[in-house]
Amino acid sequence: MTKADTDRIDIPGLDVAKAKRYSRTRLVVLIASTLWSVVRLAWFASDSRALRLKEAIDRLLPDRPLTAPVFIALTTALSWLSALPISYIGGHAVERRFGLTKQTASGWVEDQLKGLLVGVLLQTPLLTAAFAVIRRRTRDWWLILAAASVPLTVVLSNLAPVLLMPLFNRFDPLRDEALAARIRALASRSGVRISDVFEMDMSRQSEKPNAMFTGLGNTKRIVLGDTLLSKFSEDEIEAVVAHELGHQVHGDIWRLIGFGAGAGFGLAWLLSRVSPPVLRRTSRQTGVTAPGDEASLPVLALLLTAMGFVMMPIQAAFSRAIERRTDRFAVELTRNGEAYAHAMERLAAESLADPDPPRPVVLMLYSHPPIVERIRAARETERRFREDGLAGSVSQIGGDSKATR
């Protein structure tokens, strides 16, 4: 077979032309919103606007210690507001036009407002404290902040499914008893302590079928969208659950936290080296001379945005490697590559997945391998698995998945 032959896979039910239009539209909106956010930040950072805003707050408030948190909360809210029109287009209008959401515009805005509120409540005290550390520890603030962010991420990962996610969606224990029993059996075969399985009203926001593993320690769980439960066959749901179990078996949440921590130390160090000279050089326009001043926020945000671009392909590659391995694990666990391939095909059809996305887009943005690769890999894994089975090693694979990885 030539490469062209192997690359072509027909996905039943997928409207390829529409999927192509959808992914092109999303890319255009993403580029526009990224440019818009850089332009906004550059405008805010280009003269003494941030400093003047901070001083105005200072004059209005009776209490000096309140200036920093109010300044941070206000800039967060203003930044959210100035991004709202383009977020609306990308997050709602496009999805609606392609039939991928039934949410109303007001429902969408309500979700965004809740998100803003949670963001401001979490971010304001943390950033206020961070700036205090930067002022007091001018040499090693990066080390302190990066180190402090690790336990913070662990706590937030633990609390998110019980504290944050229920603000936006409803979670119930899986109602279908027969399916729940099947999932429990699968979990015990995977060697993972049975985690809770929940169903979630994902259809509030999106018609795309989805599932996830989330939480940490006593809150870790598998969550299945109602969109998945209503559109997928039992075999296909089992295939998806096997994938989520794979994340738990491999401790992927810890891997992601570890990756984030490594990146956090690197970026914080870089920021601590780059920001002082940049701030000194721009201080005549901005009136800000050091990173410990909250008014340096737009300049710091611009620098972090630039660093984020460099991190994007690294992070995406890391995630794709995890997902590729998890796909393989799922097929080995269910011993049903065909059901897995079908699940992926249905996923592609229902979410309008681009069957052959441009390589640069995959490298920069894709957290999962392109769907056609996942389908092909599932069938390939099953084929190899059968060959190995015929060679006599089939007894190895049943309960041994944890020990062999």
What residues make contact with Zn ion under the rule CB under 5 A?
323
Please report how close the Cβ of residue 241 comes to Zn ion at its closest, in angstroms.
Answer: 11
Please report how close the Cβ of residue 13 comes to Zn ion at its closest, in angstroms.
Answer: 22
121-135 burial string, b = 16+ CB within 10 Å, else e? eeebeebbebbebbe
Between CA 131 and CA 308 the distance in angstroms is 20
**Of the two residues 103 and 248, which places its CB atom closer to Zn ion in the complex?**
248
Q: Which residue has the tokens 């850089």?
A: 38
Please report how close the Cβ of residue 338 comes to Zn ion at its closest, in angstroms.
Answer: 20
**Of the two residues 210 and 275, which places its CB atom closer to Zn ion in the complex?**
210
Judge contact between 286 and 279, C-beta under 8 A.
yes
Please report how close the Cβ of residue 322 comes to Zn ion at its closest, in angstroms.
Answer: 7
Please report how close the Cβ of residue 26 comes to Zn ion at its closest, in angstroms.
Answer: 20
**Phi and psi of 171, rounded to 5°?**
-120, 130
Please report how close the Cβ of residue 243 comes to Zn ion at its closest, in angstroms.
Answer: 6
Please report how close the Cβ of residue 306 comes to Zn ion at its closest, in angstroms.
Answer: 29
Between CA 217 and CA 154 the distance in angstroms is 10
**Of the two residues 243 and 342, which places its CB atom closer to Zn ion in the complex?**
243
**Of the two residues 323 and 373, which places its CB atom closer to Zn ion in the complex?**
323
User: What residues have CB less than 8 Å from 304, skipping those under 6 apart?
Assistant: 267, 271
Q: Dihedral sign, CA of 290, 292, 297, 302? A: positive
Please report how close the Cβ of residue 324 comes to Zn ion at its closest, in angstroms.
Answer: 10
**Of the two residues 305 and 315, which places its CB atom closer to Zn ion in the complex?**
315
**Of the two residues 245 and 303, which places its CB atom closer to Zn ion in the complex?**
245
* Three-state secondary-structure class, residue 398: coil
**Of the two residues 253 and 268, which places its CB atom closer to Zn ion in the complex?**
253
**Of the two residues 92 and 250, which places its CB atom closer to Zn ion in the complex?**
250
Rounded (10°) angle between helices 141-159 and 252-286:
130
Between CA 147 and CA 152 the distance in angstroms is 9
* Centroid of chain to Cα 274: 27
Torsion of CA 28, 78, 38, 256, to 10 degrees: -80
Strands 221-225 and 196-200 turn out to be: parallel
- A 10 A CB-CB count for 175 gives 9
Judge contact between 396 and 404, C-beta under 8 A.
yes
